[in-house]
A and B are shown apart, each in its own frame.
Chain A
Amino acid sequence: MSSARDAILGGIRRALKRGPLSAETASALAERVAVHRRNLVPARAAALDHTGQVDLFVAMAEEVQTTVARVASDADVPGEVARYLAAENLPAELVMAPDPALAAIPWDSRPLLQIRRGRAGAGDAVSLAPCLAAIAETGTLMLVSGPGTPTTLNFLPDTEIIVVRAGQVVASYEDGWDVVRAVPEALPRTINFITGPSRTGDIEQRIQLGAHGPRRLHVVLIEESAENEKHAPPGS
């Protein structure tokens, strides 16, 4: 289909009444792409200090039916997960991202919590995953795919629990891009921005949660890392 390619690119140049771009213009455009210049970023989150951003993240997430539990340290996470599952009447059983980011959490402290590590399958009711960043502006979680973080965890189970460290909260999507770019490997196959549980308004515009993805989205926010692990996004 290279003929279609040439026809389309040639057609574009003819319509724009010019030939291929000059080397000078092309390098100016390449420069525009390379510098990752930000457009207008709303002040809503960017103008706050980090504590304010964490609070905004929680408020915005709760607005879209994400539930949030704030815990002091890693040691509190297994207890919170067990409490949440019991409160929602769910079995103490989950599939967890096999990611080093979750390894520091003392899961053994709750021996009744049955944990399988891997990707989600059709039978998994609850999943648990780490995020890469959490975006205060709209209460959005940013997750990426990788060997330790399979994407199926985010869509197949009815309930997803996401572990967020306060230091991972950033103001904007642009801050999120910087966090992704700071990861040494190439861009991951999938970046998921998740803002609340799955929903639809396709029947009479009445919002229903849990259309195809999770019906419930629960965030466990670990506070202690707020000061010592806060990363400064490049360029900020």
Chain B
Amino acid sequence: MQPTSHAFPANARIGLADETLQRALGLARTGFPLRRQQAIERLPEFEALREQGRTIKDHTLAHLDFYLELYENHAIAAGGKVHWARTAEEARAAVLEICRSVGAKTVTKGKSMVAEEIALNDHLEANGITPVETDLGEYIIQLRHEPPSHIIAPAIHLMKEQVADTFRTAHTHLDAHRVLDEPRTLCDEARTVLRPQFLAADVGITGANFLVAETGSSIIVTNEGNGDLTQTLPRVHIVVTSIEKVVPTLEDAATFLRLLARSATGQEFSSYTTVSTGPRRAGDLDGPEQYHVVLLDNGRITLLGGEFQDMLRCLRCAACLNHCPVYATVGGHAYGWVYPGPMGAVLTPALVGIGEAGHLPNASTFCGRCESVCPVKIPLPKMMRHWRERQFVERLAPPVFRSGLRLWAMLARRPAFYHAIVAIKARMLGWIGGRRGHFRTMPLASGWTRMRDMPAPEGRSFHSLWAERQRRATR
């Protein structure tokens, strides 16, 4: 998908004005955080598990070459094929080649953010292969030709009325007057329409939540069962995933599984956690004859060993999206690429460039909720700050912004001068603000005052009040 992250301010305004989106986001704002909170309150060890999760990921990243080679050896020993891909192009080519080698016409897909990242569906379609998304949310947005707006709930921006309209437009073989007014009937219709697709597909493509070095296995975590039908019924199973998903052992995977569902949906455990190792075995009555894994880098190694390495711990649980006031206000499409919210604000600039995605690390109030709910303690606000610094160094910010920052830096490095200026300013503003106690408009801050009043200072700066207080205390 072509990024439109450079248009974040315009995209955000569209989101703010979209009433349906605002209603849908209202549901998400309360639902996910509440369920997560209830789930972690039931597990006293949750905080200790977060700490262990962070340690295991850091250990794995520090020895990523070792664990990837070990994973590959075991995957091959189990009869699987591993395809390394430096770029999205290489990954798409690998998938297409496998599909062509078995003469595939239709491909079913479980939800995969890496497949979104490499724009796999467009590539398959352009080459005469029909991809069918089978996760309910992904299916809905595929019919609408929209990108996902959330990494675990791709159609979270829609209400049931829009889903009903989408199904009426797409499922023309069904009675035009059927009643489609409840999620239950919509879900049943999708189930009925997709079942024959599962049975007919030549290839099934899934992502992976984890790869296990010890066994060469891939693990998917789902609720619908679509991922399992996708990978069990066709002759060929392709796992499209990325290099940072590897963990050393099944025991390590168990630790992350305890963190993942609780952080994502607030479930104790998702309905289906599936460990796959190679193709079907001699004597098995079902399962794929071929098992392929496409291992994508696509810029991830540029994060290793630097200030953004912590981002590679990400489990893609979406807790940071679910707790972000900015995401909850503008929705996922505003971010303009595959990964929205705080994790996207850090990851997208790394994968598509800070020139394209420079707005994203600035679209934050730095409230810190994302970091506080992250199951592997990624310091997201700190890394957004790193991107802002890099923007400044690379002269990517607008000139007014840059000169404003430079002026600020000049002041901030001269404390005496700073205190003097601030004292004068506070007194002046306090005097002008006067009786009313707030400003309705302010020069240079009209964007801020258009929506709210600016409180007027009471006449003295914090520094002078503090100094006085200290003097009194020592007396």
Contacts and interface: CB of A to CB of B under 8 A. Distances in A.
Interface of A: 1-2, 4-5, 7-9, 11-13, 15-17, 20-21, 25-26, 29-30, 32-33, 36-40, 42-44, 60, 63-64, 98, 118-119, 122, 138-140, 145-147, 150-152, 154-156, 172-174, 177, 185-206, 208, 210-214
A30 B69 CA distance: 12
Given A196-B271, A202-B155, A150 B248 contact: no
Interface of B: 24, 27-28, 31-32, 43-45, 48-49, 52, 56, 62-70, 78, 83-86, 90, 94, 134-137, 140, 153-156, 158-160, 163, 183-184, 186-188, 190-191, 194-195, 198-199, 213-215, 217, 223-226, 228-229, 232-233, 243, 248-252, 254-255, 257-258, 265, 267-281, 283-287, 295, 297, 301-302, 304-306
Contacts of B62: 16
Interface centre among A12, A155, A200, A202 (most CB of B within 10 A): A202
A29 B63 contact: yes
Contacts of B275: 187, 190-191, 193
Given A191-B275, A211-B187, A177 B269 contact: no
9 contacts: A26-B66, A189-B278, A193-B273, A195-B267, A195-B269, A195-B270, A196-B271, A203-B160, A208-B183
B52 A191 contact: no
A173 B257 contact: yes
Contacts of B280: 145, 189
Nearest to A191: B275
B251 A36 contact: yes
A175 B136 CA distance: 33
Contacts of B295: 8
A39 to B, nearest CB: 4
Contacts of B281: 145-146, 185-186, 188-189
A188 B279 CA distance: 10
A173 B256 CA distance: 11
Contacts of A210: 187-188, 191
A9 B272 contact: no
Nearest to A17: B305
Given A64-B271, A203-B187, 17 more contacts: A15-B302, A15-B306, A33-B214, A36-B249, A39-B56, A39-B254, A42-B44, A98-B285, A152-B286, A192-B272, A193-B272, A195-B273, A198-B223, A200-B136, A201-B223, A205-B31, A211-B187
